[in-house]
Structure 1
Amino acid sequence: MSEIRVGTSGWRYPPWRGAFYPSGLPQRRELEYLSRRTNAVEINGSFYSLQRPERYLGWHAETPDGFLFAVKGGRFITHLKQLRDVETALANFYASGVLALAGKLGPFLWQLPARLVFDPERVSTFLGQLPRTTGEAAALGAKHDDKLKSRAFLESGPDRPLRHALEVRHPSFTTNEALDLLTKHRVALVTADAAAPWPYREDQTTDFSYVRLHGAESLYTSNYSDDALRGWAAKITEWHDGGRRDVHVYFDNDSEAAAPHNAVTLTRLLGLVTQTGSTQ
């Protein structure tokens, strides 16, 4: 039975303190608090820099059984290298500790910059390098170089499949050629709702859906009304297709604490089971 996952993009934001997190809740328990009210979260810090195995191990320990982490790929790969000559950078990323999430490791998100125009050869080469199992990720990670400042974590455990989603921000990625390429490589095209001139598409290019809600009226800020969330719940239910497709939904309207409230409301509207408990 496929699942619906709803969460936020990141969890450590000062405006959430007192607005979502109870006053006085220690910062070190914020993920614990959120993970009892949603069933997934998107790790955002991995976009900005390589994290360490100890962090991934800690995040795994702080969350309940059945919780899932989507992991955002590094901007060094997507924004600085712009997908070119990235084998070593990918090796460093996969050696940095992501495999320590073990059974809580969900899909990888690769967010492209708005300036990056679709180049079929470049994109196909990149997608072909992405590991499709934890064993492949460990083998790739073994090729890391000395830019990996922490110890390499290459314990893949039982071999499990890995999934990837691509968030595009240039309209050239919405051509039939680009969509066919994503389908060929079994990579999800992210449905991105945002008050920004980014492409909005609902094309389903593989066996799971990935949605990012950035704020429809004000980027990274605006709240989704209950009516809007009911609309999203209807779309998500349709994409879920009676349990035949996994759907991942992450709220990125973080700056004024709308994201966690919206995620909790959507979780309730979809009837998802969480492990709400006292962490205060």
Structure 2
Amino acid sequence: MAMNAEIRIGTCGYSFPDWKGVIYPPNLRPSLYLVYYARTLGFNAVELDSSFYHMPAISLIEALIQKTPPGFLFTVKAHRSMTHEVWNATKPAAPGRPAFPDLASGLKNAAALAPAFTAFWEAVTPMADAGRLGTVVLQYPPWFRDTPENRRFLLTTRDLLPRLPLSIEFRDQSWHNGDALTFLRQEHLGYVAVDEPQLRNLLPLVPAVTSDVAYLRLHGRNPNWFGASRELRYDYLYSKEELEQMLPSIRTMAASAPLMFIMTNNCHRGQAVQNARDLQAMLLFPEQNRT
């Protein structure tokens, strides 16, 4: 099967305290991490994940472009106000627990959503105009199920982010039942395939492509996924054998789009970098990788 896609391999985020002294030299200033990631480590793409927690500013986006060589691509995770804080009401939080959306309150309408979406769009559009945006990653929570209302919400999201490529990561199995992937294809919305632990309520790797961008995120296979803290959840190093078992799925996806991203999210202590390099060796230099 021909791999038509230009394959870009990188990591989900690049600035982590526990990469200091492991991936980055101990004396390297954090402001230079991305320069080192692109020029010294030699990656040509990264997923920007800080934008989920902090709405990106145009000044940040411009700085990221300036720190990376021409041709380096970013994928940018949508801010949580666009994916996780989209219901009209939240239930009071139990002590020490985050507030949970009141799903019965319904989803916010376009007018209520517009300020957040506009702020994000205005920050990211210069990156798109510069030819440096691969796609926007919209990661929805497990309680965002495949319903008519939620499908309409995805179309509202697309309308509020005009001219930006969108790739959607679901966390609920219902999106794999029925015609959800056909819906995405018809509406030119991308699908994010995931590799994660095969535990109850987590999704299998479905090598689907529904837009011009194929996207695979590797979350690791930590068996203590539900018991671990957010930092330790991604403490996992894929073996070469595990990565090789994914190659048929990767080739299937790469045959279906002109551009493919493979992003490693097992970022604990830089394991994502090692596995991204492993994948580069397997996919980009396969003749050197045969044992």
TM range (shorter): 0.7 to 0.9
1:34 aligns with: 37
Deviations 1:45-72 (A, max 9, x none): 1111212111111110111111100010
| TM-score between the two structures when normalised by the length of structure 2 | 0.77
Rounded to whole Å, the distance in 1 between the matches of 2:215 and 2:70 is: 22
SS, match of residue 71 in structure 1: strand
Q: CA deviation at 1:6?
A: 0.8
2:239 aligns with: 225
- For 1:60, the aligned partner's letter is I
Q: CA deviation at 1:13?
A: 0.4
2:124 aligns with: 98
Q: Is the Cα–Cα contact under 8 Å of residues 46 and 74 in structure 2 kept in the other structure?
A: yes
Deviations 1:170-207 (A, max 9, x none): 11111223222211111122111112532222222233
Rounded to whole Å, the distance in 2 between the matches of 1:4 and 1:113 is: 27
Rounded to whole Å, the distance in 2 between the matches of 1:128 and 1:222 is: 36
| TM-score between the two structures when normalised by the length of structure 1 | 0.79
Rounded to whole Å, the distance in 1 between the matches of 2:282 and 2:192 is: 22
Q: CA deviation at 1:39?
A: 1.4
Rounded to whole Å, the distance in 2 between the matches of 1:180 and 1:120 is: 14
Q: Is the Cα–Cα contact under 8 Å of residues 216 and 262 in structure 2 kept in the other structure?
A: yes
Q: CA deviation at 1:213?
A: 0.5
Alignment RMSD, CA only? 2.2
1:3 aligns with: 6
1:116 aligns with: 144
Answer with 63-72 or 173-182: which moved more.
173-182
Rounded to whole Å, the distance in 2 between the matches of 1:237 and 1:188 is: 17
Q: Is the Cα–Cα contact under 8 Å of residues 114 and 198 in structure 1 kept in the other structure?
A: no
Q: Is the Cα–Cα contact under 8 Å of residues 207 and 252 in structure 2 kept in the other structure?
A: no
- CA change 1:124–1:257 in 2 (3 A) is same
SS, match of residue 113 in structure 1: coil
Q: CA deviation at 1:114?
A: 0.8
5 Å-filtered alignment, 1:1-280, equals: 2-36=5-39, 37-82=42-87, 84-85=108-109, 86-95=113-122, 97-101=123-127, 102-130=130-158, 137=161, 162-195=164-197, 197-200=201-204, 201-218=206-223, 219-241=233-255, 245-271=258-284
SS, match of residue 184 in structure 2: helix
SS, match of residue 22 in structure 1: coil
Q: CA deviation at 1:128?
A: 4.5
Q: Is the Cα–Cα contact under 8 Å of residues 211 and 257 in structure 2 kept in the other structure?
A: no
- CA change 1:233–1:29 in 2 (3 A) is farther
Q: Is the Cα–Cα contact under 8 Å of residues 209 and 257 in structure 2 kept in the other structure?
A: no
Q: Is the Cα–Cα contact under 8 Å of residues 84 and 126 in structure 1 kept in the other structure?
A: no
Q: Is the Cα–Cα contact under 8 Å of residues 194 and 214 in structure 1 kept in the other structure?
A: yes
Q: Determine what percentage of the aligned residue pairs are the same residue.
A: 30
Q: CA deviation at 1:233?
A: 3.9
Q: Is the Cα–Cα contact under 8 Å of residues 207 and 249 in structure 2 kept in the other structure?
A: no
- For 1:257, the aligned partner's letter is G
SS, match of residue 260 in structure 2: strand
The unaligned stretches of length 5 or more in structure 1 are 141-160, 273-280
SS, match of residue 26 in structure 2: coil
Report runs of 4+ in structure 1 exceeding 6 Å deviation.
none
The unaligned stretches of length 5 or more in structure 2 are 88-106, 224-232, 286-291
